């Protein structure tokens, strides 16, 4: 987890869901994002404490250029890892409509599932990253072990906050230890989400469009 996202609503829809209208400088624009099949290394719209802007999905420190940039950071290690030390205090929110996971159901190709909130709210994923530094900019989504029925879809899940806690996560003055406790104890439970099978066409990142989100009959 989490290897593919959908981010198709407009930024103002995400801002309204956070109940902080006008709180950020918007560098994205007002139109729907219409990104239904977002792959790693793509530019993704993210909230940082001061603005909404594009940021590349994936990050690594300068001294780790000999390895691929990870797209996720494990909760169990992120707060105390030398790899993420430079960006642990640089918190951001990745607002998405949902994400995809692939399940081995005994066929030649794994079956993709689309996961989204049951209540229709945006999914506010906790992330950390680097911005304003040029070519080294990027972000990762923080993940944890799946719980409940979500285990049947994938053993890892993004850490998702309610709108109120997403605002708190973006508080750049917040204590780092408190931020870790938020991740450990306050993310949304698996019961907040629903998932269904979708067409295997989503496996090809060149395929885009709302039809990728239709449930299989």
Active-site annotation holds for 125: no
Take residue 67 and report the two structure tokens written for it. Answer: 């390895």
Are the C-beta atoms of residues 137 and 129 closer than 8 Å to each other? yes
Active-site annotation holds for 2: yes
Parallel/antiparallel/unpaired status of strands 43-47 and 51-56? antiparallel
Question: Is residue 185 classed as helix, strand or coil in its secondary structure?
Answer: helix
Partners of 26 in the beta sheet?
52
Q: Out of 76, 101, 107, 191, which one is annotated catalytic?
A: 101
Take residue 70 and report the two structure tokens written for it. Answer: 């990870």
Identify which of 75, 42, 58, 51 has the alpha carbon closest to the alpha carbon of residue 156.
75
Identify which of 38, 185, 48 has the alpha carbon closest to the alpha carbon of residue 97.
38
- CA neighbours closer than 13 Å in the CB half-sphere of residue 11: 20
Q: Out of 2, 105, 125, 180, which one is annotated catalytic?
A: 2
Question: Which sequence positions are flagged as catalytic?
Answer: 2, 101
């Amino acid at each position: 987890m989490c290897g593919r996202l959908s981010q198709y609503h407009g930024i103002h829809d995400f801002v309204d869901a956070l109940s902080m209208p006008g709180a950020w400088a918007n560098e994205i624009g007002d139109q729907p994002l219409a990104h239904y099949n977002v792959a790693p290394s793509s530019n993704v719209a993210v909230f940082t404490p001061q603005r909404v802007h594009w940021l590349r999905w994936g990050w690594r420190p300068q001294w780790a250029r000999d390895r691929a940039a990870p797209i996720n950071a494990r909760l169990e290690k992120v707060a105390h890892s030398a790899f993420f030390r430079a960006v642990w205090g640089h918190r951001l929110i990745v607002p998405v409509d949902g994400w995809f996971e692939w399940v081995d159901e005994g066929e030649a190709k794994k079956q993709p599932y689309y996961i989204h909130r049951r209540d229709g709210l945006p999914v506010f994923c906790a992330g950390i990253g680097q911005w304003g530094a040029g070519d080294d900019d990027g972000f990762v989504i923080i993940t944890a072990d799946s719980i409940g029925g979500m285990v049947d879809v994938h053993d890892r899940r993004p850490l998702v906050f309610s709108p109120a806690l997403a605002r708190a996560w973006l508080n750049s003055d917040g204590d780092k230890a408190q931020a870790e406790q938020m991740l450990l104890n306050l993310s949304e439970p698996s019961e907040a989400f629903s998932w269904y099978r979708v067409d295997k066409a989503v496996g090809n990142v060149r395929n885009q469009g709302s039809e990728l989100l239709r449930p299989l009959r």
